[in-house]
């Protein structure tokens, strides 16, 4: 079947073939390490890295795989820092988690730190007598997850955000959702909560330190959204679905729920990276897709499904520059060190933080949309 040429498509940034020498280094180190190491890879990793993962998945899949890592000694996490931290808390004691490159952070996770969240909690609990349940997206530091554990809240991922918010409204009358305002808004709206029942708390409010609102608004709102976002997914704009539908009649729009509200409302399907992968995998030949997510995943889906038409939703490549920091060379370096008995880039979370965060993480692992 001949399908049109997809509109974008940027060069496959970071998908250069891995030099034979690096492939050999990884193979030798893995052979020496045997079953004692598990390599996990997030869907946004470049092909040159993801090909070496024992298991690939979305944030929830990878968290569950880390929890069930059995008797491995090391988990090498090809993803970003908050994912490695989560894995460290979920793996059995004694298992160490290694991030191949320490520069692989997440700009969204950096948009809420624990001091800001503690201030916000004082502002909000001072503004209302009603019970507020804090929910943190998994894209956040371990300290924020522990905060949720301490205050009767939970962690969610883009795979189970609806179930977690539903649960939160059984525990209390209001939800504080951080750090991603878009996932929070999209999820709550899907659950029937109106936009006029949600308010955005701005941690950078310079004036009264009240999050940019008259405090009485917090008493009137059901959902308080943190002013944070993903710098990759907010590149998709409200007119992109219209442009793609005009250009490719019949095309379906498939987006991640970190996209803006206006974009998600126009999409045919919205879901986590696993939902995106499975939706394309299960579609009939000839289906056309405009996908609003990180472009390494979009490019991979295009290569894996030549029987379908797969394009990015934006007319340019949306790359997660921090996921991109993980390279095959860095993976080879870390595996060789482990084979020599050296550990570098270990991601440790202290026991007290872990204890509280696990309360919120266990709730996350128990819930499904």
Q: For binding to ligand 13P (CB under 6 A), which residues are involved?
A: 43, 58-59, 139, 157-158, 230, 256, 258, 272-273
Minimum distance, C-beta of residue 323 to ligand SF4, in the bound complex (Å): 5
- Residue 14 phi/psi, 5° resolution? 75, 15
Q: Does 320 bind ligand SF4 (CB under 6 A)?
A: yes
The two three-digit tokens of residue 218, written as one number: 């917090």
Q: Which residue has the tokens 């050296």?
A: 342
Taking CB under 6 A as the criterion, the residue among 23, 114, 231, 245 binding ligand SF4 is 231
Three-state SS for 57? strand
Task: Pick the piece of the chain touching ligand SF4 (CB under 6 A) from 47-55, 100-108, 151-159, 302-310.
Answer: 100-108
Q: Which is nearer to ligand 13P, 25 or 46 (CB)?
A: 46
CB-based contact 345:104 (threshold 8 Å): no
Nearer to ligand 13P, 217 or 365 (CB): 365
Q: Which does 299 bind (CB under 5 to 8 A by kind): ligand SF4, ligand 13P, none?
A: none
The interface partner of residue 300, options being ligand SF4, ligand 13P, none and the CB cut-off 5 to 8 Å by kind, is none
CB 284 within 8 A of CB 320: no
- Write the burial class of residue 249 (CB in 10 Å: 0-12 exposed, 13-18 middle, 19+ buried): exposed
Q: Which of 90, 106, 135, 364 binds ligand SF4 (CB under 6 A)?
A: 106
Minimum separation from the CB atom of position 235 to ligand SF4 (A)? 10
C-alpha atoms less than 13 angstroms from C-alpha of 26 in its C-beta half-sphere: 23
> Which string of x and - marks every residue 271-300 that binds ligand SF4 (by CB under 6 A)?
-----------------------x------
Rounded to the nearest 5°, which phi and psi values hold at 78?
A: -90, 90
Q: Which is nearer to ligand SF4, 183 or 328 (CB)?
A: 183
Task: Choose among ligand 13P, ligand SF4, none what residue 181 binds, the Cβ cut-off being 5 to 8 Å by kind.
Answer: none
Give the Cα separation of 46 and 117 in Å (integer): 33
Closest approach of Cβ 219 to ligand SF4, in Å?
31
Structure tokens at 257: 């729920």
**Is 193 a residue that touches ligand SF4 (CB under 6 A)?**
no
Which candidate, 241, 245, 281, places its Cα nearest to that of 262?
241
Q: Which does 272 bind (CB under 5 to 8 A by kind): ligand SF4, ligand 13P, none?
A: ligand 13P
Does the N-terminal peptide bond of residue 179 adopt cis geometry, omega within 30 degrees of 0? yes
Q: Which does 273 bind (CB under 5 to 8 A by kind): ligand 13P, ligand SF4, none?
A: ligand 13P
By beta-carbon proximity to ligand SF4, the closer residue of 124 and 230 is: 230
333 binds ligand SF4 (CB under 6 A): no
Alpha-carbon dihedral sign for residues 71, 76, 80, 82: positive
Q: Pick from 40, 60, 76, 80: which binds ligand SF4 (CB under 6 A)?
A: 80
Cβ nearer to ligand SF4, comparing 258 with 333? 258
User: Is there binding between residue 232 and ligand SF4 (CB under 6 A)?
Assistant: yes
Q: How far apart are CA 41 and CA 365, in angstroms?
A: 19
| Residue 332 φ then ψ, to 5° | -60, -45
Taking CA 351 as the corner, what is the angle to CA 350 and CA 354, rounded to the nearest 5 degrees? 90
Smallest separation, CB 319 to ligand SF4 (Å): 9
Q: Indicate which single residue of 253, 291, 323, 339 sits in contact with ligand SF4 (rule: CB under 6 A).
A: 323
Select from 107, 121, 152, 172 the one that contacts ligand SF4 (CB under 6 A).
107
Write the CB contacts of 6 (distance below 8 Å, at least 6 apart in sequence): 302, 309, 310, 311, 312
> What residues from 132 to 151 belong to the interface with ligand SF4 (CB under 6 A)?
139
322 binds ligand SF4 (CB under 6 A): yes
Residues 6 or more apart in contact with residue 189 via CB below 8 angstroms: 195, 261
Helix (H) or strand (E) holding 246: helix 239-247
**Helices 328-339 and 20-33: angle between axes, nearest 10 degrees:** 30
In the complex, the residues that contact ligand SF4 under the rule CB under 6 A are: 80, 106-108, 139, 230-232, 294, 320, 322-323
């Amino acid at each position: 079947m001949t399908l049109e040429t997809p509109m974008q498509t940027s060069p496959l940034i970071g998908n250069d073939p891995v030099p034979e020498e690096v492939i050999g280094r990884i193979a030798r180190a893995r052979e020496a390490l045997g079953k004692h190491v598990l390599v996990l890879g997030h869907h946004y990793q470049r092909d040159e890295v993801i090909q070496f993962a024992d298991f690939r998945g979305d944030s929830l899949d990878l968290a569950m795989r880390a929890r069930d890592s059995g008797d491995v000694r090391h988990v090498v996490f090809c993803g970003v820092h908050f994912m490695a931290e989560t894995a460290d808390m979920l793996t059995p004691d004694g298992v160490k988690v290694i991030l191949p490159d320490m520069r692989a952070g997440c700009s969204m996770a950096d948009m809420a730190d624990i001091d800001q969240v503690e201030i916000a909690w004082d502002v909000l609990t001072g503004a209302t007598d009603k019970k507020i349940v804090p929910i943190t997206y998994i894209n956040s530091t371990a300290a924020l997850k522990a905060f949720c554990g301490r205050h009767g809240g939970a962690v969610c991922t883009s795979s189970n955000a609806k179930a977690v918010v539903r649960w939160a409204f059984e525990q209390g009358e209001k939800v504080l959702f951080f750090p991603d305002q878009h996932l929070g808004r999209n999820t709550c709206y899907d659950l029937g909560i109106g936009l006029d029942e949600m308010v955005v708390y701005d941690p950078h409010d310079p004036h009264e330190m009240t999050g940019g609102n008259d405090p009485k608004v917090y008493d009137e709102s059901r959902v308080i959204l943190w002013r944070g976002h993903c710098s990759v997914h907010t590149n998709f704009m409200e007119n992109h679905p219209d442009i793609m539908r005009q250009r490719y009649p019949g095309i379906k729009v498939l987006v991640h729920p970190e996209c803006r509200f206006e974009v998600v409302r126009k999409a045919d399907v919205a879901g986590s990276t696993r939902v995106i992968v499975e939706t394309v995998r299960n579609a009939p030949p000839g289906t056309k897709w405009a996908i609003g997510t990180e472009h390494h995943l979009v490019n991979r889906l295009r290569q894996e499904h030549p029987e379908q038409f797969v394009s990015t939703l934006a007319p340019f490549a949306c790359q997660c520059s921090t996921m991109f920091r993980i390279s095959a060379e860095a993976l080879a370096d870390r595996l060789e060190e482990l084979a020599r008995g050296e550990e570098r880039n270990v991601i440790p979370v202290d026991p007290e933080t872990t204890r509280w965060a696990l309360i919120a993480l266990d709730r996350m692992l128990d819930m499904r949309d």
